[in-house]
A = this chain, B = another copy of it.
Amino acid sequence: MTTTGRRTTRRTDALSRERIVDAAIDILDTEGERGLTVRALAARLATGSGAIYWHIGDKDGLLAAVTADVVGRAVTGVAGSVTPREALFAIASEVFDVIAAHPWIGAQLAREPWQPAMLRIFDSLGEQIRALGVPPESQFNVATALLNHVLGLACQYAAGARLVLQHGDPSTFLGEQAARWEQLNPSEYPFVTDIASQLPGHDDRAQFIAGIDLILAGVTAQRQAP
């Protein structure tokens, strides 16, 4: 930037893959998935659509890069002196938070489960599972179970947040949803109609933590009685 290089960085607004990714994230966050068009991207970056294609191969490629970027920034290494269990909660929280903040990530990850972004999360979880002493033959399964739990709940939360944005305020929203569930046909939805009354007091974050506890309890139980 302010190095001795003369005109190597001609303008601060020189187009780059990085700047395109950043602009794309911004559009996705503010306008949603449908707002991200190559033309909108070009307009925001004050360039032509062809320039976008020179830096990125493809719109699909851009979406993959954008997802990897956001997830990569969120899932950082864990601080040293914590227990594996604490680290696990920390990682899961990071993932939960990043999806809550960028609701479009969920659909993106579901489309291509083994993309780099997913692998990063999977690896972070796996390390801690190993540190926890889970036997090698179970590590893959436990890591996957945790990954699915985090992703599933985060998508659920993101969808809820999206609905709250569209409709009324957060407090009444769960009540309305509960009312809708209660009005379902009990012979068709016996469980949902019954459990609807629990919905108003529901907390996604608490459920998220409870689920991790559940899976970890399963691990210990299976280790004691295999």
Closest Cβ of chain B to A219, distance in Å, is 7
- Residues A189 and B145 in contact, CB atoms below 8 Å apart: no
Copies in the complex: 2
Chain A interfacial residues counted at CB < 8 A: 60
In the complex, residue of chain B having the shortest beta-carbon distance to the beta carbon of A106: B110
The A interface, classified by DSSP as helix, strand, loop or mixed, is: helix
**Residues of B contacting A198 in the complex (Cβ-Cβ under 8 angstroms):** 140
Task: Indicate if A122 sits at the interface (CB-CB under 8 A).
Answer: yes
A185 to chain B, nearest CB (A): 11
Contact digits for A149-185, partner B, Cβ 8 Å, 1 yes 0 no: 1011101100110000000000000000100000010
User: Which B residues are CB-close (under 8 A) to A148?
Assistant: 148-149, 151-153, 211
Q: Mark A127-150, 1 if CB is under 8 A from B, else 0.
A: 101100000001111111101110
| Chain A residues at the B interface, C-beta cutoff of 8 Å | 106-107, 109-114, 119-120, 122-127, 129-130, 138-145, 147-149, 151-153, 155-156, 159-160, 177, 184, 188-192, 194-195, 198, 202, 207, 210-211, 213-222
13 additional A-B pairs beyond A122-B191, A144-B152, A214-B222, beta carbons within 8 Å, are A106-B111, A107-B107, A107-B111, A113-B156, A120-B189, A141-B211, A143-B191, A144-B156, A148-B153, A214-B215, A216-B218, A217-B222, A221-B221
